[in-house]
């Protein structure tokens, strides 16, 4: 609609100060002829806009005039408040949203207020007490460091090393599935820090150095792609009963592929994971409803796990110490983050596209089955 286009032109003028017809045409994806007509229409309607010819000329608002016009449509207002919902625990954002409600035109104010109350975000996972969406106690400090573009020293803790410190240049924030990450550079490459694992943030007083041409979306795509490759490093082929497939689908997502039905009524499946160890641990949760077919190593590991469980639980409760652990299965102390779980792979504090991170030790050898909440 022409009215929408004129509003967009006015807002563009207000934001840029001085614009050319070509810039207006490119911004609004219209012809230069249409852009010129729209500018002339604004002037004819009484908007204080004028043109200046010659080199460095263009169209401007007289005296840098401003307007209270926001240009928001009713749908845009609703979308803005709904999008801000997951972050509305922040006092600063709540204050900003209250001001925004008062700034929108009166006819849209009721819609804006309704949208601001239409979403509740529960940061508690069904099986965890931690508030994942909040980003941890140092989320605000990391956020401020990104905005201020200052170099920081980050304390970090994970299963491999309870105390680590990295001096980095914070480049941006990423929220993935309720988890917050800071993407940063340390001179060797890019790192991603999971906020809930950050133990301290110290501002060094030096300005952060931003790589030339850095694009946060592209950088995150590279980091995420590397994590995704690790998640799919190994494939196990198995036969699953109908009752097991929904739970495995919930656990593995698109890393589970189903094939043809076998004569015995079971379905052939293929599952991808970081390693044979983690896939065996995940498939074991389905019990006898899943039979691993390939590779032989996975089948043998699952059989040994079954023997250990039978030995530990075959007698009366408390009847004696559990059977000795078969160290060839999950040798305690050498179970690595790459082998731990989907979460551990995606939450690693370093994901380098060009440099493999040293393997990290875990103390917990078994990853329990995580199915849907009933």
If asked whether residues 164 and 58 sit together in one domain, one would say: no
If asked whether residues 251 and 277 sit together in one domain, one would say: yes
What residues make up the domain containing 83?
74-116
Looking up residue 204, the CATH number of its domain turns out to be 2.30.30
Element at 27 (helix H, strand E): helix 21-28
Please indicate, yes or no, if residue 366 is contained in any of the structural domains.
Answer: no
If asked whether residues 105 and 34 sit together in one domain, one would say: no
Please indicate, yes or no, if residue 54 is contained in any of the structural domains.
Answer: yes
C-alpha closest to that of 374 among 221, 246, 196, 285: 246
Q: What angle do CA 188, 146, 90 make, to 5 degrees?
A: 140
Q: What angle do CA 23, 28, 34 make, to 5 degrees?
A: 80
If asked whether residues 290 and 262 sit together in one domain, one would say: yes
If asked whether residues 59 and 40 sit together in one domain, one would say: yes
Please state the three-class secondary structure of 232-277 as a single string.
Answer: CCEEEEEEECCCCHHHHHHHHHHHEEEEEECCCCCEEEEEEECCHH
Distances (CA, A) of 160 to 333, 364, 366: 10, 11, 16
State the total domains in the chain: 4
Q: What is the pLDDT of residue 287?
A: 85
- Counting DSSP H helices and E strands in the chain, the numbers are 12, 14
Please indicate, yes or no, if residue 122 is contained in any of the structural domains.
Answer: no
Q: What is the pLDDT of residue 257?
A: 92
Strands 150-156 and 58-61 come out as unpaired
C-alpha closest to that of 67 among 135, 148, 12, 134: 12
If asked whether residues 166 and 204 sit together in one domain, one would say: yes
Tens-level pLDDT at each residue, the chain (374 residues):
566 788 788 778 877 778 899 998 998 889 999 988 988 888 887 778 878 887 777 888 876 655 555 666 777 777 777 777 666 556 777 777 777 776 776 667 777 777 777 766 665 666 555 444 457 889 989 999 999 999 999 999 876 667 889 999 999 999 887 788 999 998 888 989 999 899 999 999 999 999 888 899 999 999 988 888 888 889 999 999 988 899 898 888 889 999 888 888 899 999 998 888 888 888 888 888 899 999 999 999 989 888 888 888 877 776 665 555 544 444 333 333 333 333 444 444 444 444 444 433 333 333 333 333 32
Instruction: Name residue 156's beta-bridge partners.
Output: 164, 198
If asked whether residues 242 and 334 sit together in one domain, one would say: yes
Please indicate, yes or no, if residue 223 is contained in any of the structural domains.
Answer: no
Q: What whole-number distance in Å separates Cα of residue 71 and Cα of residue 53? A: 28
Q: What is the pLDDT of residue 124?
A: 60
Q: What is the pLDDT of residue 319?
A: 63
pTM of the model: 0.56
Q: What is the pLDDT of residue 370?
A: 35
If asked whether residues 257 and 329 sit together in one domain, one would say: yes
Please indicate, yes or no, if residue 226 is contained in any of the structural domains.
Answer: no
Q: What is the pLDDT of residue 343?
A: 40
Torsion on CA atoms 169, 175, 176, 181, rounded to nearest 10: 30
Q: What whole-number distance in Å separates Cα of residue 207 and Cα of residue 55? A: 37
Please indicate, yes or no, if residue 220 is contained in any of the structural domains.
Answer: no
């Amino acid at each position: 609609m022409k009215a929408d286009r004129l509003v967009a032109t006015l807002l563009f003028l207000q934001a840029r100060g001085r614009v050319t017809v070509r810039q207006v045409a490119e911004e609004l994806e219209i012809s230069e002829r249409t852009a010129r007509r729209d500018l002339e229409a604004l002037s004819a309607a009484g908007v204080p806009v004028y043109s200046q010819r010659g080199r460095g000329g263009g169209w401007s608002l007289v005296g840098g005039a401003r307007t209270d016009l926001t240009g928001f449509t009713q749908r845009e207002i609703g979308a803005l408040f709904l999008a801000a919902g997951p972050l509305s625990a922040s006092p600063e954002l709540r204050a900003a949203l209250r001001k925004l409600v008062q700034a929108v035109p009166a006819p849209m104010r009721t819609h804006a207020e309704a949208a601001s109350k239409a979403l509740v975000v529960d940061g508690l996972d069904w099986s965890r007490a931690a508030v994942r969406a909040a980003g941890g106690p140092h989320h605000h400090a990391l956020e401020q460091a990104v905005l201020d573009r200052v170099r920081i020293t980050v304390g970090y803790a994970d299963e491999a090393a309870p105390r680590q410190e990295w001096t980095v240049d914070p480049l941006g924030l990423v929220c993935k599935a309720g988890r917050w990450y800071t993407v940063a550079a340390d001179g060797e490459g890019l790192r991603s820090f999971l906020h809930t694992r950050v133990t301290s943030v110290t501002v060094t007083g030096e300005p952060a150095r931003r790589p030339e041409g850095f694009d946060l979306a592209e950088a995150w795509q590279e980091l995420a792609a590397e994590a995704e490759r690790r998640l799919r490093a190994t494939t196990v082929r198995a036969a699953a009963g109908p009752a097991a497939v929904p739970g495995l689908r919930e656990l593995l997502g698109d890393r589970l592929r189903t094939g043809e039905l076998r004569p015995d009524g079971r379905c052939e499946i293929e599952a991808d994971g970081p390693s044979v160890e983690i896939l065996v641990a995940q498939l074991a949760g389905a019990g006898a409803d899943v039979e691993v077919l390939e590779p032989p190593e996975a089948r043998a590991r699952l059989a040994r796990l079954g023997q250990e469980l039978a030995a530990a639980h075959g007698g009366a409760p408390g009847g004696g110490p559990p059977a000795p652990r078969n160290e060839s299965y999950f040798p305690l102390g050498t179970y690595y983050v790459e082998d731990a779980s989907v979460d551990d792979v995606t939450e690693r504090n370093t994901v380098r596209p060009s440099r493999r991170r040293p393997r990290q030790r875990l103390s917990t050898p078994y990853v329990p089955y995580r199915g849907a909440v009933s």
